[in-house]
Structure 1
Amino acid sequence: MVEATTTAANDGTCQDLPVLEAPHEVAPQDARALTKVFLRELAVREEGTEGHQYVRGTLIEMNMSLVRYAAGRFRARGDEMEDIVQVGTIGLIKAIDRFDLSREVEFATFAVPYIVGEIKRFFRDTTWAVHVPRRLQEARVELAKANEDLSARLGRPPRVGELAKAMDLSEEEVIEAQIAANGYHSTSLDAALGGADEDDDASLADFIGEEDPALALFEDFHTLAPLVEQLDERDRLLLHLRFVEELTQSEIGARLGVSQMHVSRLLARSLARLREGLLPDQPARP
């Protein structure tokens, strides 16, 4: 709504332009005509003055319908529409600042590619949690649209075969797109799960298993078992006395009637054979 129209002032204010009570409520057909007037004024006003700020701000508010129109094209992506509109507004501002009145082109025609480009850049740079091929990024958008259309028509979630037919893809390609869509959003491991108990501050990380250090020991035992079986009976007895009964080399020597030095040599030889069988790529110890 136009509240008043006054004459120009010498102090850089906006007294020579229509004063709009609610620029964002101006009808699109009226906005096109008013945009031309305000763009001409913007070109002659000194940047930083009150008048320049008013004209620029009014242009932004009057043309928010262009942003909402462009943002609607990305509704199927599932992101918050408010976020998409905010990003699109950046494109609108760039279009206002870069528009050249000497060009024979409507402002809307000039601005929409800026708005759409800014939104696409936002999706490309920030929304994918992991990198996936571009063809799968595009397939995800088509998948979201097909899901929405078929769900509304069928009254239930569509099956893979129905999605494949609607998207003109194979079922394998649809499944691949569904898997790739999982890389679009990520959740912090520290994010609270929000259980029924208000005092429950459990996070996702609390429910993710960790590698059991005993697992490696279990695997080593199973790898060593056939190697130990290959040793002769005396060597297996020495290993049993040393590592199961935990006797010292002197105690083993006394029990078997040999010197401690001899026990040491026999154990070293057996351990070297086991080490070579367990770690064939490792250099032998001196």
Structure 2
Amino acid sequence: MPDLILHHYPMSPFAEKARLMLGHKGFSWQSVTIPSVMPKPDVLALTGGYRRTPLLQVGADIYCDTALICDVLEHRQPTPPLYPEHQKGVARVLAQWADSTLFWAAMGYALSPKGAAALFAKQAPEVGQAFAADRAAMRTGMVNLRAGDATAALRSYLRRLSTMVEEQPYLLGQAPCVADFAAYHPLWFIRVINPAMAGILEATPHVTEWLDRMAAIGHGTSSKITSTDAIAVAAAAQPAPLADDAFQDEHGIDLGSRVTVAAEVFGQEPTEGILRAATRTRYTLERTDARAGRLHVHFPRIGYVLREVRA
């Protein structure tokens, strides 16, 4: 099978989620380090507009959003599972909460004025300014939690997580699942990337023990390649044949139509292309790039908006 190529950068929380899932599955994978802020010309060559981190590339197929990346990894190697038998629905719902509500509370706390000052204390002022400006642009239209509200919410969420791991090693039982990886990465950001703010974890020792268990999973085996190399891989490949999944039309938009797909919130830059699939779980757009060639760009349905491009 084609190699897995993860496009990411070290301090990205969602990239840490993907890296740890790759380790959980025991994959060997190729690593492309991308910029943390715009411009990202090599990313856009692959996605056509989407700029959130990480991306998973498999030949000429580009998978956006870690929720979809979870499904791709599970399909490629079902064991050990990310979705526990008899708890698949609970695991997905808990993961969605962690990737959204828990994540934004953690970021509101970790990137508060005090947290941002600590995070960028050893870097030139323009680095922190560029990061703040970039993320402000990505949050256009979002309601942001104030630092005090985020802190109060995070303390409550930590207590709730603590009750889940007091008598079992992982959130839903004896083995980690998608919910653990989703809840782990925002707390990893606080603990590892901005440790000056990690004191909030001291009141929930069961959570820190769970974090230790998750960290021990590791990232599997990776090798570095450049973004230029990754684009060349895409250009030399063709998108994989699409699975024969039923077309699920919720919009009155036919397959073969020119459309855009964009995130509902945070990083709403659209990707435009030809709609090649709309299944119960994902959209697939075909697009062509001068450097990367013909691509299929895949998005999960949940959290994304499909629109027809009208002449």
Shorter-chain TM-score tier: under 0.3
1 or 2, which has the higher helix percentage? 1
TM-score normalised according to structure 2 size: 0.22
1 or 2, which has the higher strand percentage? 2
TM-score normalised according to structure 1 size: 0.23
